[in-house]
Amino acid sequence: MGKKILLVASEIAPLVKTGGLADVAGALPKELKKLGHDIRLIMPEYSQIPQHFKEKIEHVCYFYVNVGWRREYVGLNKIEIDGIIVYLVDSKKYFERESLYENSDKHIQFTLFSRAVLECLPKIEFKPDVIHCNDWQTGLIPMFLKENYKQYDFFSHIKTVYTIHNLQYQGQFGKDVLSDVLAIPTDFQPHIIGDHVNFMRLGIIYADKITTVSPTYAEEILSYHFGEGLDWLLNIRRGDVSGIVNGIDTDVFNPSLDKELFQNYSLDTFKDRVINKTALQEKLGLNVDATIPMIGMITRLADQKGLDLIEHVLYEVQHTDVQLVVLGSGDQHYVNMFEELANVRPRQVSISVKFDSELAKQIYAGSDFFLMPSRFEPCGLGQLLAMRYGAVPIVRETGGLKDTVFSYDDHTREGNGFSFSNYNAHDMLHTIERAIHYYRMYPDIIDLLRKRGMAKDYSWTESAKAYESLYNHI
Ligand code: ADP
């Protein structure tokens, strides 16, 4: 039977995107709708939402929410995207900001948002069977629901799922937040609260079920090494923790239809990719030469992504006959590192420091290889998108990368990419060299890997069924 589901996220593609969370929140609902569920979404109404969407936003209602001693006005608006209603929590005071997440009052922003999510439900007469929360920004919702709302008939049967997209970002604040923002007495359940107020920890404690975005990451976070200080808690709740690998939106990412590509291609015409490669070389000022292997990277420039491994072998990379095309923003240290490299080797290395969805697709479509040497990777969408576009992934075996990329095996001829297991710069370099060796000496094998990647179904069909089964069994 169809369920009523409210998916709550701090970013949803195509309205606002800074990373994989938005992709997931944009694509999974479409598949759940196909399965017959009444799925609706809710997120903050940031000023960053593009104008052409803003024009389609309709007003629904307004109300006031309490955030500690504050009483704040909130508007509820909505927009329909692909037949799915996305509610938008409108507070100019809190969501008209330069940055989505880098605000000093982010604990207030997302407390206000979480309260508004629960407060709006009776007003729109939508009583979900399940509220599906995502990441620290929504971690308070299961707690508010159980502590403050469950006694009311309307809320008494609502269950919660809490999905961890990245355990590293927890939303940790000082203890003063308890009384000042959450309106909870300072002596409230000290064993639950701990030394800090940690939104993700509260989500894990209070949610009915906890998921993360790949089976391997679900195992890894139970260990001290990957647990980010919460492994003990996840172990207590391990019976309720599961991993469901992300899919990708195969309508939005489709090399045979994308308008942003220089040349469309499909599995049958995959050799046409080379037109994208040379056009990209031209666009980025690299040597225009179809025979030079090109490695793409599209990534947040953060420690998680294994960029220090590249830093260790910069000299070797410069002296390898390979082009490196990087698109990303973040940590200034890595911006400088790539910029210096690109200055020394302008025809060999390109770095674009921005968020650019069009260039991203052109890189997926033009690169021969796609490098993700992550220190840890909850799921990773880059490698899935790369394979969809026929770029062969080179990854470290961790989290979702381990679940989706299988290193080519010479004997069995199985595999869909290249991988290494230890977090070690020379292991990475060796794996890159191995990939280039095949590129030069056995191009038919690289073609085989490209075709395998392109042929595989990375859509949400299977994973949406896994979420459906979770909602049903909660
Ligand atoms: P994470 O969520 O950890 O950042 P994922 O691999 O799960 O990493 O998802 C990243 C998503 O964001 C992918 O869709 C990727 O193409 C996109 N992306 C990352 N950086 C950029 C950028 N600078 N410009 C365009 N798209 C980007």
DSSP code, position 222: T
Nearest CA to ligand 1 atom 16: 382
CA-wise closest residue to 300 among 382, 419, 406: 382
User: Which pLDDT score, from 0 to 100, does residue 248 have?
Assistant: 94
Q: Could you tell me if the CB of 328 is within 6 A of ligand 1?
A: yes
Instruction: For residue 394, give the 3-state DSSP assignment.
Output: strand
Number of H helices, E strands in the chain: 20, 17
Nearest CA to ligand 1 atom 2: 20
Do 4-247+460-473 and 270-455 have matching folds? yes
13 CA → ligand 1 middle, Å = 12
Half-sphere exposure of 448 (CA within 13 A, CB side): 15
* Rounded-to-integer distance, Cα 244 and Cα 212, Å: 6
Average pLDDT over all residues of the chain = 96
User: Which pLDDT score, from 0 to 100, does residue 139 have?
Assistant: 98
* Rounded-to-integer distance, Cα 90 and Cα 110, Å: 12
Cα pseudo-dihedral 405, 408, 411, 414, rounded to 10:
50
166 CA → ligand 1 middle, Å = 13
Q: ω into residue 122 within 30 of 0, thus cis?
A: no
12 CA → ligand 1 middle, Å = 13
Q: Which of 23, 248, 352 to mutate to test the pocket of ligand 1 (most atoms within 8 A of CB)?
A: 23
* Rounded-to-integer distance, Cα 131 and Cα 471, Å: 10
Q: Which residue spans within 389-469 are E strands per DSSP?
A: 392-396, 418-420
Low-confidence ranges of the chain (pLDDT < 70): none
Q: Could you tell me if the CB of 329 is within 6 A of ligand 1?
A: yes
| Domain ranges (residues) in the chain | 4-247+460-473, 270-455
Domain 270-455: CATH superfamily is Glycogen Phosphorylase B; (3.40.50.2000)
Contacts of 373 (CB under 8 A, 6+ apart): 305, 306, 309, 310, 394, 395, 396, 420, 428
Half-sphere exposure of 4 (CA within 13 A, CB side): 9
User: Which pLDDT score, from 0 to 100, does residue 82 have?
Assistant: 94
User: Which pLDDT score, from 0 to 100, does residue 73 have?
Assistant: 97
Q: Which CATH code, of 3.40.50.2000, 2.40.50.140, 3.40.50.300, 1.10.3720.10, is assigned to 4-247+460-473?
A: 3.40.50.2000
57 CA → ligand 1 middle, Å = 26
Q: Could you tell me if the CB of 355 is within 6 A of ligand 1?
A: yes
Question: Token digits for 32?
Answer: 């759940």
Q: What is the pLDDT of residues 337-371, one digit of tens each?
A: 999 999 999 999 999 999 999 999 999 999 999 99
216 CA → ligand 1 middle, Å = 20
